[in-house]
Copies of this chain bind each other. A is one copy, B any other.
């Protein structure tokens, strides 16, 4: 049972409105790596991970996942590929009105027949798989709660359980810890890290925070304006790397009283 490698070959993504989301990306992601993708808002992080399961169609070059080329993959064959690629969404993308379990069972959709889907008559095996996934992320007791009743951190873990229930070979996580508090963020990141370590699943994680990315990844990819500006180990990610990724050095920002606030002289409290 080998995990597939992911290969970007001069990949470009141009959105229908003409905007280039990714430009000429060539990168190799061997199976089993834990990758952190960092960059400013709008740098193309989401576009990068979403192109891997075809949620964003690529317009130039090619991506291969294992031996399958993503170019022109569609219909049943695309769904098959997707069933092997789990995705954890920043906004959780849960059905708030459905139970936690139903949400996790969504990971089994590819393997469920149409009529079972229609009736919501899930296979016993799938239900067990889903319950196991919930146990793994430690929210089994919430299985029959409404997803909308969960706290943010719990919802994010339901998202991860859904991905686990899918039994994927690759997990893509698009900012899985945005708007979680630090302890919960660490829990989620460690979960992903453990899944990577124990099950050998390739994990690609978009992160806003360089420090989290540094701590939990084997390898960092820095994006800026749709191009790769950094690719290396966390140890390599020094201040220069930060500057190339974020467009300016951290140090300058840390200066308390930055100059240049000319305006607003008469903006004082009323009366």
Contacts and interface: CB of A to CB of B under 8 A. Distances in A.
Interface of A: 1, 3, 40-42, 83-84, 129, 132-133, 135-136, 138, 140, 151-153, 164, 166-169, 178-184, 186-187, 190, 193-194, 197-201, 208-210, 215, 246-248, 250, 253-254, 256-258, 261-264, 266-271
A201 B1 contact: no
Contact of A267 (B83, B133, B187, B271): B133
B132 A264 contact: yes
Nearest to A171: B269
A10 to B, nearest CB: 28
Contacts of A200: 269
Given A183-B253, A208-B182, A253-B187, A266 B84 contact: no
- Which of A201, A256, A261 is packed against the most chain B CB atoms within 10 Å? A261
Contact of A136 (B136, B183, B250, B261): B261
B167 A267 contact: yes
A264 B41 contact: no
A132 B263 contact: yes
Contact of A179 (B178, B198, B261): B178
A203 B34 CA distance: 41
A264 B190 contact: no
B84 A182 contact: no
Contact of A210 (B153, B179, B182, B201): B182
Contacts of A169: 269-270
A43 to B, nearest CB: 9
Contacts of A84: 269-270
B40 A186 contact: no
Contacts of A215: 254
Contacts of A261: 136, 138, 194, 198
30 contacts: A1-B268, A1-B271, A40-B183, A41-B153, A41-B180, A41-B181, A83-B270, A132-B267, A133-B264, A135-B262, A135-B263, A135-B264, A136-B261, A136-B263, A136-B264, A140-B263, A167-B267, A167-B269, A168-B269, A169-B269, A179-B179, A181-B208, A182-B246, A183-B248, A193-B256, A194-B258, A194-B261, A199-B268, A199-B269, A200-B269
